[in-house]
A and B are shown apart, each in its own frame.
Chain A
Amino acid sequence: MRTSFLYIALMCSFFISAQQTPGPVQNQSILIQNATIHVGNGSVIENANLGFISGKISYIGQENPTKKYDQIIKGEGKHIYPGLIALNTTLGLGEIDAVRATIDDDELGSFIPHVRSVIAYNAESKVVESMRMNGVLIAQIVPKGGTISGSSSVVNLDAWNWEDAAISIDQGVHLNWPSPYTRQRYSRGQSTTYKKNEKYQQSIEEIKNFFDSSRAYLKDPYPVSLPYQAMSKALNNEAKVYLHADDPQQIKDGVEFLKNQDIDGVVLVSAIYSSEIADFLAQNNIEIAVKQPHNLPSLEDEDPKIRFKLASELLKNKVLLSIDSTGEMSRMNTRNLPFFAGSFAAYGLTKEEALQSITLNAAKILAIDKNYGSLEIGKSATLFISSGDALDMRTNDVSQAFIDGRKVSLETHQTKLWKRYQKKVEEEKSN
């Protein structure tokens, strides 16, 4: 008992350590001059100026704007990018993997669209603040587990609390499609094998039943049934359905099911083996958030680089492509999002295509592209300045970042320790 109290006390002290103060609302207009602007839609404007006022982009062009700006940032030799957007993350839902008390990403239950990630999002997470220094400024926060894991929301990564952070609340329902095959483990020492999942059709039937029941319920929604009620946005095409699936049959069955359910906004997530049915996905206008490439092949016989090549394989069929950030230790590795895109660029995508996948395409997938995802007049001034190519860790060097025009701190728990101890070493060396 005593130790557990001690433990809780320890955890508390760990959380109350103050994080960076969120940036204040933009009240001075800002003009960045003579920089290379990566619009996020595939185009690049060299030697251009970008101005923003009250959180909105007011000017983009190679000429000087007629309006006078309060503040000028010299952009010579620098690059301006839209804030990068991470899909399918658990940022703010967990802090330390091995400490169960800090993890809030997977609720009990199979069909729980009423479970909402946004309210558990810890805006002050040390993991969250570490995203900004690499240019990751917006993320989709997604609950895990079950068949329908819950509803996701989109947040900006510099806020006092989850309400301030929210860009789009309950914007998606997450459907983990069952697998047509199951793994069968023999007894000790023997290898596994696969067999047909005998419950596959049954599982699909259960999903169908849930969708049908929700639809029927919504015609007469009283007394209230929380799970069915929570399907209302998705069924009315006000929220997207994110279909998590990897194998061709799984993907096809899931897509066809959702089409039959008249769901328009279907986003395929993970999609490891989707390239062989890329034309099917293109025909059905399925948007894809493909698994980030820093993963090993599942099978020994596969091309060691198969995951790196997947994006370019898919893009041949002109699908709308973005990146699913999940993988090993994915929460903290989400800050490597630009390098996931860079890795795809090393294997077939152009750099601007790779960038588009984590900016404008991601915004489209989250249905926030009206305001975010690209640098265009009238859109939110959510952007960052890097001294070099942001998709390459060798040159990704973020000097300033803005969310809705607010200048955000690039400091983190980590940079504070860095500065403190670098100074200590310097002093010790000089003594």
Chain B
Amino acid sequence: MKRKHHIHIKFFLKTLILLFPVFILSQEYFPTNTGVKVTNEPYNAIINATIITSPGNVLENGIILERDGKIIAVGKDVSIPKNTVIHDKKGTYIYPSFIELYSSSSVKNAQRSTSSGRSAQYGPSREGFYWNDHIISDYNSHNDFLYDKKKSEELRSAGFGIINTHRADGIHRGTGLLLALSDVSTENEKIIDNKSAEFLSFSRSVRSRQSYPNSIMGSIALLRQFFYDSEWYLSGQAKSKDYAIESFIENNNLPKIFYSGSDLNFIRALSLSKELNIPLSIVGSGKEYMNLKEISNYQNDIIIPVNFPDAYDVSDSIIAQKISLGSLKEWNQAPSNLSSLERSKIKFSVTSDGLKNLSKFIPNIRKAIDYGLSEKTALEALTTLPAKILNISDLAGELKAGALANFLVVSSPVFGNDAVIYENWVLGNKHLVNSKKERKEEKKIEIKRPLIFDVLPVTYPNKAFGNKSIPKSQNIIIRNTTVWTNEVDGVLKNTDVAFSKGLIVDIGQNLKNTNNSIEIDGTNKHLTSGIVDEHSHIAASSINESGHNSSAEVSIQDVINPNDISIFRTLTGGVTTIQILHGSANPIGGQSAILKLKWGETAENMLMKDATKFIKFALGENVKQSNWSSYSRFPQTRMGVEQVFVDYFQRAKEYGKKWNDYNELSKKSKSKTTKPRYDVEMETIWEILKGERHISCHSYVQSEINMLMKVAERFNIKINTFTHILEGYKVATKMAEHGAGGSSFSDWWAYKYEVNDAIPYNGPIMSQAGVTVAYNSDDAEMIRRLNQEAAKAVKYGGLSEEEAWKYVTLNPAKLLRIDDKVGSIALGKHADVVLWSHNPLSIYAVAEKTIIEGAVFYDIEKASEQLKQIKNERNTVISQLIDAKKSGAKIQTPPIKEKKYYHCETIDIYED
């Protein structure tokens, strides 16, 4: 027994020595039982090296003097004390070790909730905190700290000395910690700060099944409300404690690192940061080159990954055919991202996040340099800038007295071709990276330096049918055409229409061209105002926030997807304006967005200026969740649906009264009174009660339509529009009396029980009763043929052609309350027009030009040119990919993005 024990200890000591080549610099007040206590560590001096003290500052033959993990001095004339170990690093280059701003290394992963069940969880799992489990601002990643030696070694090999790490889980993820990657140091030493930054994202926590939010727009709304609640809490009004909010308030001064996850979410995070006036440092997608102009409008610190896609395997031509030009360009353009940012004078830090293999980190930085990034900017992005974001410029990022002794010993300039990192010193502890001998062996099997390929130009959007530049408003005269005015003039033959500055400026015969207008011959063609779709779900990243039965606080405006190919396809059908409605998963849906289909523009610029505010409501099978397994959410019946509306309207009324009372107080009384809590959901419904926001309600059967009108009347409001409204014809006179409009399908039916009595004569009967009627799409395919759907009002119900045409132009514009701007060809209205090959109601009509505010966004001839260009660009990149494979580049199976099409019912849980 005794002997065994002895061996054990010996073994232990041996490993201890192996592990710790340097003696542990333990805390002075800690007892030691493994040997004698060493309190007087000698100095270390690095001599004879070329020292890059900070980006752009080089010290030839310099000296770094270190003791106890810190730099004592850096310079040429440093006096070296006697008790110094000298490290002669002649011929090498010394750099500050890199700083990783966004890591989740050395913190245990969050465990996915294993609880299951048929019914959704609506409430939070814990008490005493915020009402939503996905806000975990009180959490500190230090709780789950577990030093990951292997990962740390990989990070050191990639040049990192310090990482800002956290548990990557939740919308507010709590705080992270700053970790020095020194294996030999104790946790007391290597955790430099156990609360280094707050971390946030748009993604739900995997630890909770709480259903809200389950869309990206819900995440945005939740963050907004959480920030407002924190402000309110800070003013001391809450009746009880909320430790999540308290932590958020306490951590107010910490850097806030926001993980965005995609190019569009990156823009959304920038915009949210500006809106809430919260300085977020945002982790990008690596595709910032697509949105440089927009990004340069913001001042946020940004953190950019370098996880360039591996080359796609294109050896199978059938599979290769399925890779979109967008994906092909992504591979081709990604290495130019950092240099594009630099050229646009946008400052950025760099993260290794997203790389499957950290050994690709430095090679990818080198690749970025090959594609035009300057070495100085690269070094800044890894040292001084991240240090600044973390407020640790005195500690890291530069080699200077007082800073941590974190530095790299490199064979040659670190971003050069053959540079080898020999050592990465962290907290004064030398960690070997590559010994010279090992490195040589590696070199033999090393692949050739990857080829540099010509980078394709970015288009707007950066995919098939993208514009080289965004179309601009022009002076245009369309000559000698048949003009469907939608005004008292009716249809005018042989008429000219002129546009200038985005507006219709003249209508008549033989108009004079006084301002160098482009002339378009409209002979034998028809000119109409652009089609307006009251009910669409294209061009959005999410449609339903179904986590609650009311989600009035969410807004489609937050989640516009300006790159959706459906926008282009829709332009080919002559549509110029759409309303993107929230889906029908809940009685009170979200705020809608009214968009001009300016293909190539940013989301912000597509939103129609001065548009009226709308919100989606819904009735029927979807809101009672009768076609999917859900039995726990109120309402389950049409009876319950009524009560949801009454409840919310009543509460919003009371909410509004509270604010009105408060706002009427004098300044003095205000200071003595409790300010009501700002509630985005209630604000939105209050807007409805005030007449500032209008309802478009998804509806099918007559009972529920009637019900909602009665509920609205109780609260002195009107339902602006019933959308779908397939049984509108049964209550048409009631709708007319109430003042509601109807936006219907022409002839959809038999897809579910509640459309049993849907008839294609619905529109004309409603018109006959005096209801303003529109036909809508709700569909990415049919939206391209709305002109034909309008013609069905001629076929079914015998409407005149002029009135039928208004079903998809002037009438939806009226329902959207934008008919002062669009919907007809009249002086002063937006130059949103379509030139058709035939009578627009005819099946033979093809839209040849779609013009929005005087800019040509679709031209049938240009589109066929674009098809050729798509083919050429595809061929270029595919041959590059073949060359890349030949040169030994890593190959991946190509991603084939499958387009998702949204309908009212589409529920798409957003995690990442």
Does any Cβ of A come within 8 Å of B884's Cβ?
no
**Given A296-B569, A300-B565, A394 and B870 contact (CB-CB distance below 8 Å):** no
Distance (whole angstroms) from the CB of A431 to the closest CB of chain B: 10
Distance (whole angstroms) from the CB of A294 to the closest CB of chain B: 6
**Given A295-B781, A304-B568, A422 and B843 contact (CB-CB distance below 8 Å):** no
CB interface residues, A 162-217, toward B, < 8 Å: 180-181, 183-184, 188-196
Which A residues are in CB contact (< 8 Å) with B750?
95-97, 126-127, 329, 331-332
Encode contact with B along A389-426: 1 for CB under 8 Å, 0 otherwise: 00111101100000000000000011101100110111
Distance (whole angstroms) from the CB of A311 to the closest CB of chain B: 14
Does any Cβ of A come within 8 Å of B769's Cβ?
yes
Which B residues are in CB contact (< 8 Å) with A249?
318
Does any Cβ of B come within 8 Å of A345's Cβ?
yes
Does any Cβ of B come within 8 Å of A339's Cβ?
yes
**Given A195-B893, A328-B779, A394 and B318 contact (CB-CB distance below 8 Å):** no
CB interface residues, A 218-263, toward B, < 8 Å: 247, 249
**Bound Cα distance A417, B843 (Å):** 27
Q: B761 contacts which of A331, A391, A414 (Cβ < 8 Å)?
A: A414
Q: Are A300 and B324 in contact (CB under 8 A)?
A: yes
**Bound Cα distance A12, B776 (Å):** 33
Does any Cβ of A come within 8 Å of B896's Cβ?
yes
Which A residues are in CB contact (< 8 Å) with B899?
300
Q: Are B572 and A391 in contact (CB under 8 A)?
A: no
Q: Which residue of A lies closest to B758 (CB)?
A: A414
Which A residues are in CB contact (< 8 Å) with B324?
299-301
Q: Are B569 and A304 in contact (CB under 8 A)?
A: yes
CB interface residues, B 791-814, toward A, < 8 Å: 791-792, 794-797, 801
Interface of B, secondary structure class, is loop
Q: Are A97 and B751 in contact (CB under 8 A)?
A: yes
Q: Are B894 and A429 in contact (CB under 8 A)?
A: no
Q: Are A191 and B898 in contact (CB under 8 A)?
A: yes
Which B residues are in CB contact (< 8 Å) with A183?
896, 898
Distance (whole angstroms) from the CB of B506 to the closest CB of chain A: 30
- Interface range for B: 35 or more
Q: Are B319 and A98 in contact (CB under 8 A)?
A: no
Does any Cβ of A come within 8 Å of B854's Cβ?
no
Distance (whole angstroms) from the CB of A158 to the closest CB of chain B: 19
Q: Which residue of B lies closest to A302 (CB)?
A: B464
Does any Cβ of B come within 8 Å of A76's Cβ?
no
Q: Considering residues A126, A299, A300, A428, which has the most beta carbons from chain B within 10 angstroms of its beta carbon?
A: A300
Q: B757 contacts which of A98, A190, A417 (Cβ < 8 Å)?
A: A417
Q: Are B572 and A294 in contact (CB under 8 A)?
A: no
Distance (whole angstroms) from the CB of A47 to the closest CB of chain B: 24
Does any Cβ of B come within 8 Å of A99's Cβ?
yes
Q: Are A426 and B795 in contact (CB under 8 A)?
A: no
Q: Are B765 and A14 in contact (CB under 8 A)?
A: no
Does any Cβ of A come within 8 Å of B768's Cβ?
yes
Q: Are A193 and B761 in contact (CB under 8 A)?
A: no
Distance (whole angstroms) from the CB of B459 to the closest CB of chain A: 13
Q: Which residue of B lies closest to A328 (CB)?
A: B781
**Bound Cα distance A295, B781 (Å):** 6
Q: Considering residues A99, A183, A299, which has the most beta carbons from chain B within 10 angstroms of its beta carbon?
A: A299
Does any Cβ of B come within 8 Å of A46's Cβ?
no
Q: Are B752 and A393 in contact (CB under 8 A)?
A: no
**Bound Cα distance A86, B124 (Å):** 54
Distance (whole angstroms) from the CB of B668 to the closest CB of chain A: 54
Distance (whole angstroms) from the CB of A88 to the closest CB of chain B: 18
CB interface residues, A 115-138, toward B, < 8 Å: 126-127
Which A residues are in CB contact (< 8 Å) with B730?
421
Q: A301 contacts which of B569, B729, B874 (Cβ < 8 Å)?
A: B874
Q: A191 contacts which of B325, B756, B846, B895 (Cβ < 8 Å)?
A: B895
**Bound Cα distance A339, B318 (Å):** 32
Does any Cβ of B come within 8 Å of A113's Cβ?
no
Which A residues are in CB contact (< 8 Å) with B901?
296
Q: B788 contacts which of A393, A413, A422 (Cβ < 8 Å)?
A: A393
Does any Cβ of A come within 8 Å of B672's Cβ?
no
Which B residues are in CB contact (< 8 Å) with A304?
568-569, 572, 784, 863
Encode contact with B along A297-334: 1 for CB under 8 Å, 0 otherwise: 10111011100000000000000000000001101100
Does any Cβ of A come within 8 Å of B844's Cβ?
yes
Encode contact with A along B739-773: 1 for CB under 8 Å, 0 otherwise: 00000000111111100110111000100111000
Q: Are B569 and A192 in contact (CB under 8 A)?
A: no
Encode contact with A along B605-627: 1 for CB under 8 Å, 0 otherwise: 00000000000000001000001
**Bound Cα distance A366, B226 (Å):** 65
**Bound Cα distance A321, B6 (Å):** 91
Encode contact with B along A338-366: 1 for CB under 8 Å, 0 otherwise: 01001101110000000000000000000
Q: Interface size (A, Cβ < 8 Å)?
A: 63
Q: Considering residues A193, A195, A414, which has the most beta carbons from chain B within 10 angstroms of its beta carbon?
A: A193
Does any Cβ of A come within 8 Å of B647's Cβ?
no
Q: Which residue of A lies closest to B570 (CB)?
A: A304
**Bound Cα distance A98, B748 (Å):** 14
Which B residues are in CB contact (< 8 Å) with A98?
621, 627, 751-753
Q: Are A99 and B753 in contact (CB under 8 A)?
A: yes
**Given A191-B895, A301-B464, A426 and B794 contact (CB-CB distance below 8 Å):** no
Q: Are B761 and A418 in contact (CB under 8 A)?
A: yes
Q: Are A191 and B769 in contact (CB under 8 A)?
A: no
**Bound Cα distance A205, B897 (Å):** 31
Distance (whole angstroms) from the CB of B751 to the closest CB of chain A: 5
**Bound Cα distance A422, B732 (Å):** 10
Does any Cβ of A come within 8 Å of B842's Cβ?
yes
Q: Which residue of B lies closest to A412 (CB)?
A: B759
Q: Which residue of A lies closest to B318 (CB)?
A: A181
Does any Cβ of A come within 8 Å of B839's Cβ?
yes
**Bound Cα distance A397, B324 (Å):** 43
Which A residues are in CB contact (< 8 Å) with B621?
98
Which B residues are in CB contact (< 8 Å) with A14?
756
Which B residues are in CB contact (< 8 Å) with A193?
319, 893-896
**Given A294-B781, A421-B729, A332 and B464 contact (CB-CB distance below 8 Å):** no
Q: Are A425 and B732 in contact (CB under 8 A)?
A: yes
Q: Which residue of A lies closest to B796 (CB)?
A: A418
Q: Are A417 and B319 in contact (CB under 8 A)?
A: no
Q: Are B843 and A343 in contact (CB under 8 A)?
A: yes
Which B residues are in CB contact (< 8 Å) with A247?
318
Does any Cβ of A come within 8 Å of B845's Cβ?
yes
Q: Are B795 and A425 in contact (CB under 8 A)?
A: no
Q: Are A96 and B751 in contact (CB under 8 A)?
A: yes
Q: Are B319 and A332 in contact (CB under 8 A)?
A: no
Distance (whole angstroms) from the CB of B777 to the closest CB of chain A: 12
Q: Are A342 and B844 in contact (CB under 8 A)?
A: yes
Q: Are B753 and A96 in contact (CB under 8 A)?
A: yes
Q: Are B761 and A422 in contact (CB under 8 A)?
A: yes
Q: A188 contacts which of B729, B839, B843, B912 (Cβ < 8 Å)?
A: B912
Q: Are A394 and B781 in contact (CB under 8 A)?
A: no
Which A residues are in CB contact (< 8 Å) with B319?
181, 193-195
Q: Are A191 and B896 in contact (CB under 8 A)?
A: yes
Q: B765 contacts which of A294, A295, A332, A425 (Cβ < 8 Å)?
A: A425
A sample of 14 more A-B contacts (CB under 8 A), given A188-B912, A296-B780, A329-B748, is A96-B751, A98-B627, A181-B319, A194-B318, A296-B901, A304-B572, A305-B572, A339-B843, A393-B795, A413-B757, A421-B732, A425-B729, A425-B765, A428-B733
CB pairs A–B below 8 angstroms (29 shown)? A98-B752, A127-B750, A180-B318, A183-B898, A191-B895, A193-B319, A193-B893, A193-B896, A247-B318, A249-B318, A294-B781, A296-B781, A300-B325, A301-B874, A303-B867, A304-B568, A328-B779, A329-B751, A339-B788, A342-B844, A343-B843, A392-B844, A396-B795, A414-B761, A422-B729, A422-B761, A425-B768, A428-B733, A429-B768
Which residues of B line the A interface, CB within 8 A? Answer: 316, 318-319, 321-322, 324-326, 463-464, 565, 568-569, 572, 621, 627, 729-730, 732-733, 747-753, 756-757, 759-761, 765, 768-770, 779-782, 784-785, 788, 791-792, 794-797, 801, 839, 841-846, 863, 867, 870, 874, 893-899, 901, 911-912
Closest 7 CB pairs of A and B: A98-B752, A342-B843, A418-B761, A191-B895, A414-B759, A301-B464, A394-B791
